């Protein structure tokens, strides 16, 4: 399986992925990015924060940028109409 | 062959030389296992239990969507499936995280031991009770601890257990697993795990990179984890 590097960019700066993760293909790497965003935001939500300002930059094994997944891409957002 | 097991047992109770010989005599054959090999599959009938001599293994269950939960990590001296002696098949799989060396203990030898040696029988019962205590603590981690606290707790536990069997360094330990597998222990994706590790590193608590764990501030790490080793029952007493 090819390896992808998923770097998180957010308000705190960059979390560089040194090790990478295996995924079947680029679509699989995107699914991992979406799962990861949901996991990170869910954890922060337990503390009362929903911060969707970040993105995950996906690179291939040679460091070529493939795509960006923005945090809002991982959610269907529903807000009160008069909010 | 059974030195690590004896170290783990002697931390909890005195063992006399006759008992050492009985424990050594439980082992039938020894085998090498390559990293990532599944050595025990759920549902398969068992006629022996496996003692881990070198390396690390894990208990896990896979979900239909491909996600995996690792529910325990085994270090040298651990039985992978002493519970299999009475259960006769497992409800989970066991995989080698690293290259490993194992010893097979036939169930008929365990049966004879339970018939003839009540103290050793109680100590082996203790080992399965200890497994249950560790599972409870992981349950608390997954249900109640934050990602950072959960991660800190796992490293505190592994450091304590590895030190007990002489496999830790003064400031850390070798832990040759990748961040995907670490995430499978912690209920997080590899990417989320990487972020938590970065956070712990920046707070000066833990540095885990390239299979080496360094406890930068053991007391601080314990505080973040709410780590209380009482559940590892490290006191030596008649059992």
- Report the residue of chain B nearest A5, measured CA to CA: B191
Q: What is the pLDDT of residue B162?
A: 98
Q: What is the pLDDT of residues B81-138, one digit of tens each?
A: 999 999 999 999 999 999 999 999 999 999 999 999 999 999 999 999 999 999 999 9
Residue of B67, B150, B177, B192 to mutate when probing chain A, most A C-beta within 10 A: B192
Task: Give A36 to chain B, closest Cα distance, Å.
Answer: 6
Using a CB-CB cut-off of 8 Å, the residues of chain B touching A19 are 178-179, 190, 194, 210
For chain B, which residues score pLDDT lower than 50?
none
Task: Give A8 to chain B, closest Cα distance, Å.
Answer: 8
Q: What is the pLDDT of residues A37-61, one digit of tens each?
A: 999 999 999 999 999 999 999 999 9
Q: Which is nearest to B142 in space by CA: B54, B191, B59, B72?
A: B72
Residue of A40, A45, A54 to mutate when probing chain B, most B C-beta within 10 A: A40
Q: Which is nearest to B52 in space by CA: B98, B112, B17?
A: B98
| A83 lies in some domain | no
The boundaries of the domain holding residue A58 are 3-73
Q: Is the dihedral of CA B100, B49, B181, B9 positive or negative?
A: negative
| A59 lies in some domain | yes
| A34 lies in some domain | yes
- Interface confidence, given as ipTM, is 0.93
The count of structural domains within chain A is 1
- Main-chain dihedrals φ then ψ at residue B177, nearest 5 degrees: -120, 160
Q: What is the pLDDT of residue A64?
A: 95
Using a CB-CB cut-off of 8 Å, the residues of chain A touching B188 are 39
A34 at interface of B, judged by CB pairs closer than 8 A: no
Using a CB-CB cut-off of 8 Å, the residues of chain A touching B69 are none
Of residues B146, B191, B198, nearest to A36 (C-beta): B191
Token pair, residue B219, equals 């007391």
The whole-number average pLDDT for the span A9-37 is 93
Using a CB-CB cut-off of 8 Å, the residues of chain B touching A56 are 191
**Alpha-carbon gap, residue B13 to B7, rounded angstroms:** 10
Using a CB-CB cut-off of 8 Å, the residues of chain B touching A43 are 146-147, 192
| A81 lies in some domain | no
A33 at interface of B, judged by CB pairs closer than 8 A: yes
**Alpha-carbon gap, residue B222 to B163, rounded angstroms:** 16
| A55 lies in some domain | yes
Task: Give A82 to chain B, closest Cα distance, Å.
Answer: 33
**Alpha-carbon gap, residue B197 to B177, rounded angstroms:** 14
- Report the residue of chain A nearest B210, measured CA to CA: A19
Band of residue A83 on the pLDDT scale cut at 50, 70, 90: low
Q: Are A17 and B194 within 8 A, CB to CB?
A: yes
Burial letters for B70-88: b for 16+ Cβ neighbours within 10 Å, e otherwise?
A: bbbbbbbbbbbbbbbbeee
| A66 lies in some domain | yes
- Report the residue of chain B nearest A15, measured CA to CA: B195
Q: Is the dihedral of CA B65, B144, A9, B217 positive or negative?
A: negative
| A60 lies in some domain | yes
Of residues B178, B191, B209, nearest to A56 (C-beta): B191
| A7 lies in some domain | yes
Domains in chain B, ordered, with CATH? 3-137 (2.60.120.10), 141-232 (2.60.120.10)
Of residues B179, B190, B192, nearest to A40 (C-beta): B192
**Alpha-carbon gap, residue A58 to A20, rounded angstroms:** 10
Q: What is the pLDDT of residue B94?
A: 98
């Amino acid at each position: 399986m090819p390896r992808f590097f998923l770097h998180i960019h957010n308000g705190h700066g960059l979390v560089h992925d040194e090790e990478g993760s295996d995924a079947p293909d680029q679509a699989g790497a995107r699914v991992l990015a979406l799962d990861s965003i949901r996991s990170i935001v869910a954890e922060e939500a337990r503390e009362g924060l929903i911060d969707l300002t970040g993105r995950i930059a996906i690179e291939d094994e040679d460091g070529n940028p493939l795509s960006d997944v923005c945090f809002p891409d991982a959610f269907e957002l529903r807000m009160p109409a008069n909010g | 062959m059974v030195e690590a097991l004896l170290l783990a047992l002697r931390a909890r109770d005195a063992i006399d030389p006759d008992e050492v010989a009985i424990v050594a005599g439980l082992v039938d054959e020894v085998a090498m296992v390559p990293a990532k090999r599944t050595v025990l599959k759920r549902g398969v009938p068992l006629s022996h239990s496996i003692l881990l001599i070198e390396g690390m293994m894990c208990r896990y269950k896979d979900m239909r969507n491909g996600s995996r939960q690792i529910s325990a990590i085994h270090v040298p001296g651990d039985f992978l499936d002493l519970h299999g002696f009475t259960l006769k098949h497992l409800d989970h799989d066991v995989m080698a995280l690293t290259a490993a060396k194992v010893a097979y203990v036939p169930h008929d030898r365990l049966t004879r031991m339970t018939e003839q040696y009540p103290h050793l029988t109680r100590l082996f019962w203790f080992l399965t009770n200890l497994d249950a205590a560790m599972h409870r603590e992981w349950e608390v981690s997954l249900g109640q601890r934050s990602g950072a606290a959960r991660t800190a707790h796992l490293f505190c536990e592994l450091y304590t257990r590895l030190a007990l069997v002489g496999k830790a360094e003064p400031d850390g330990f070798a832990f040759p697993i990748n961040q995907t597998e670490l995430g499978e222990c912690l209920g997080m994706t590899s990417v989320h795990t990487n972020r938590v590790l970065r956070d712990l590193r920046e707070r000066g608590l833990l540095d885990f990179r390239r299979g080496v764990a360094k406890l930068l501030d053991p007391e601080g790490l314990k505080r973040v984890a709410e780590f209380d080793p009482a559940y590892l029952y490290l006191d030596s007493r008649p059992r």
